[in-house]
Amino acid sequence: MGPEAMLIAATLMIIELTFSFDNAIINARTLSKMSPFWQRMFMTVGILVAVFGMRIVFPILIVMFTAGLGWGEVIHLALQEPDKYAEALHHAHPSIAAFGGMFLFTLALHFFFDSSREIRWLQSIERPMQAINRRGLYVFVSALLLAFITFFPANHHPRETLSAGLMGIFVYVVIHGLSELFTRQHEKAEKKAGKMLQAGAAAGFASFLYLEVLDASFSFDGVIGAFAVTKDVVLIAVGLGIGALWVRSLTLYIVHRKVLHTYKYLEHAAHYVIAALAITLLIGLFYEIPEMYVGLIGLLVIAAAIASSIKDNKKDDIVKL
């Protein structure tokens, strides 16, 4: 397709890499607890879902349901009339932003309210949140935020915001809850060889589903934002698809090299960035915020976490000596 197309695809790849570094960190936390089989599934079936499902099929389905068109008509728009296709996808942005924003915001709150977490990075923020934690508080706070956004006067899509936002919270609670439930069952079944395989498979499958939905939530805004770079769906699929493959490779690297153990505040930084991304998605219901700002802030936060981890590791080494 020529040098110009290659440059556009490279731009999309860079965008995907920049915005997905925190995604890889969060994925690694869950993936490290999964068996080698489910790690391979994440890199094979999972990458197929990420590239083909989220970058190609998902936008088509969104246009189908929001515009009331058939599969063939949407394919025709995507390949022959990309401007109309991008416009139809843009109309679905309120629902996409509400679902992705509330899913990611609930995820971030769950982490910061977790009173069992012993390592804290920004003490003044994290310690009070752990102190007031009660069972299900993160869901309650997420629901309050959704109610505020839904009935905010500047919101011209209250119905879509409410239904999609509730679905985002519900999906997180259900899938993450199933993952934790099956994991506990697996741990209990370790003493019983007959039940170990079944429990382990259930826990692995639930974690696999959780990772796929998590990846989808990170991908929503990126897919729509890609149309600001190009209207060519083939280039979007190529650029974002290669970026998605890189994210999964980075996830495995973090797991195998035990990066989260070396840089103990990296996971905290990723959740701060996730909270910022979620808020950006939700603010996007009223005002347009350039994605580049979020990407740059995310990289700075992660860099600060790495620097803090190295500094504290040196202190620990001195104490041991």
| DSSP code per residue over 21-65 | HHHHHHHHHHHTTS-HHHHHHHHTHHHHIIIIIIIIIHHHHHHHH
CA–CA distance, 97 with 165 (Å, rounded to integer): 8
C-alpha 58 chain-centroid distance: 15
pLDDT score recorded for residue 196: 46
Beta carbons of 277 and 294 less than 8 angstroms apart: yes
Q: How many domains does the chain have?
A: 1
| Radius of gyration of the chain measured on its C-alpha atoms | 20
Domain holding 54, by residue range, is: 3-320
What is the value of pTM for the model shown? 0.75
Q: Is 219 helix (H, G, I), strand (E, B) or coil?
A: helix
Scan for tokens 């971030």, then name that residue: 108
Mean pLDDT by 10 residues, the chain (321 residues): 79 72 79 83 84 77 74 83 79 82 89 88 91 90 94 89 91 79 61 51 78 74 66 77 82 85 85 85 81 73 89 73 53
